Structure 1
């Protein structure tokens, strides 16, 4: 693990059922934060959901702008399986890192796949290496969830994405940073379809959705068309709404229910 120091919130003072970490990551050569909801459950080997945020955001936005914990608790009362929600920072550069392994700024992919996941599984008794792992995200986080989920297909039990950036050129809608700053060593690295096709045999259940008023709707439709042509199994939904938190708060339900269905099917 490339984490050299961990600061962890005290449950005596932290918000209910929540822990926040500050990790010093050698992958990033800096400190970054992770918020975890439902960390202190008495259950063991609980499934983990990694929730990736979009541009401009940080580890706190899924809860404090999207009410992810409230959506989860509401569904728990209706029979949803118990999960641990892991909400990391993207790494904190520019308007967003795109969760990519960048040569100069840092390896934001391994920050998620190594530092964040290993810290949680090593530190919390409610989860372990046996825990099923799920990933989701919105906008840039949807891009991260789709790309990381497909690239590391064998590690994940399910992938879901909302209002996703589906190609690097979409970033120009949200940032003035030149797209050349996001170029990676491997020309295929940033290509969601490349990883989906490469790992087609191992790809876990996959879903994505987008609002019909979202500026990314055509980009999502193009990805779905390519997934269909490549015969890559997935679920896709279009619903009313735009690129906004009310949409994500409403439709996080679909992600949690999707993961719940997978989790319950595994236990049969």
Structure 2
């Protein structure tokens, strides 16, 4: 068991339909947080969307900067979709962003997500079980995390969606002053999204990603699309007006919810 201790919020004192959890992780050797939304949803084996934030962020930004709760409820009101639990973890709190990588010296931020966060969902929410389906999405650095982790662990996730994604580690330099050598992993291919996509191409979940045409990462997303096409990996790529900003993500995360709902309804 990698979770050494869980501290769970009391619903009597917590905003409606939310839950906050602090996890003491042996992978990180410290405490980090997860915020949940839609915890009052009824049912068993409910699917979970893990939402990864970008640089500078934390577990609260998807709701309190991005209004993910309002975006989710809008989709639910418009379409007859299944109930989802939204899980919004911290990235682990390293530097300006951990990139959700298994760092060589500083902690395993990858296993924090694919083990601790998933285990915390199952341990603290009665509606989430070993039979629940998990989906992964993210924005910017979180988009990179969603693409890489979804590709590396295709057995864990039923769908991948990324918004304004960093598609290669070098693009972290747009947002952080930290030398990229600080993100060194044990293997040189570890941080390469395309390496994992090609390695597991026969068992990948469905993939979608989008980017704004005014985004600093737009050209990298176009290059990533070409790599996917050349590798004959199925995907959906959409481009819209907009930049690297919360207004864009609030709007287009609704497409992620619809995308995952379509997959869930087909299973």
Partner of 1:150: 151
- Is 2:8–2:124's contact at 8 Å kept on the other side of the alignment? no
Residues 1:103 and 2:104 aligned together: yes
Which residue is 1:182 aligned to?
183
Task: Please give the per-residue CA displacement for 1:14-63, whole angstroms capped at 9, x wherever unaligned.
Answer: 01100000111110011100001112322110001000000000000000
Distance in structure 2 (CA, Å) of the matches to 1:75 and 1:246: 16
Shift of 1:118: 0.6
Corresponding residue pairs, total: 266
Matched residue SS, 1:4: strand
Asked if the contact 1:143/1:165 (under 8 Å) is kept, the reply is: yes
How far off is 1:80 after superposition?
A: 2.3
1:112 alignment counterpart: 113
Pairing 1:211–2:216 present: no
Instruction: Report deviation, 1:200.
Output: 0.5
Displacement of 1:188 in angstroms is: 0.8
- Looking at structure 1, the residues matched to 130 and 37 of structure 2 have their Cα atoms a distance apart, in angstroms, of 18
Retained in 2: the 8 A contact 1:40–1:125?
no
The aligned counterpart of 1:36 is: 36
Q: Distance between the aligned counterparts of 2:42 and 2:134, measured in 1?
A: 19
C-alpha distance in 2 between matches for 1:84 and 1:105: 30
Deviations 1:222-261 (A, max 9, x none): 1110010000000001100000000000001110000011
**Off by >6 Å, runs of 4+ in structure 1:** none
Post-superposition shift, 1:121? 1.0
Partner of 2:27: 27
- In the TM superposition, residue 85 of structure 1 has moved relative to its aligned partner by 0.3
Distance between the aligned counterparts of 2:130 and 2:188, measured in 1?
A: 32
2: distance between equivalents of 1:81 and 1:251? 19
Tell me how large the CA RMSD over aligned residues is: 0.7
Cα distance in 1 between the residues matched to 2:42 and 2:114? 25
Partner SS state of residue 12, structure 2 = coil
Q: Which residue in 1 is equivalent to 2:93?
A: 92
Partners of 2:221 and 2:41 in 1: CA distance: 37
Report the Cα offset of residue 96 of structure 1: 0.2
Indicate whether 1:12 and 2:15 are aligned.
no
Take 1:241 and 1:75, find their aligned partners in 2: how far apart are those partners?
Answer: 21
Equivalent runs, 1:1-268 vs 2, <5 Å: 1-78=1-78, 79-266=80-267
Q: C-alpha distance in 1, partners of 2:105/2:219? A: 32
What SS class does the counterpart of residue 262 from structure 2 fall into? helix
Hey, what's the Cα distance between the residues in 2 that align with 1:36 and 1:58? 13
Task: Structure 2 unaligned segments of length 5 or more: list them.
Answer: none
Counterpart secondary structure, 2:244 = coil
Q: Structure 1, residues 155-186: CA drift from partner, whole Å, max 9, x if none? A: 11100000000111100110100000001001
Structure 1 spans left out of the alignment, 5+ residues: none
Measured after TM superposition, the shift of residue 201 of structure 1 is 0.7
How far does the alpha carbon of each residue in 1:201-230 deviate from its partner, in whole angstroms, 9 at most, with x for none? 110110000000000001111111001000
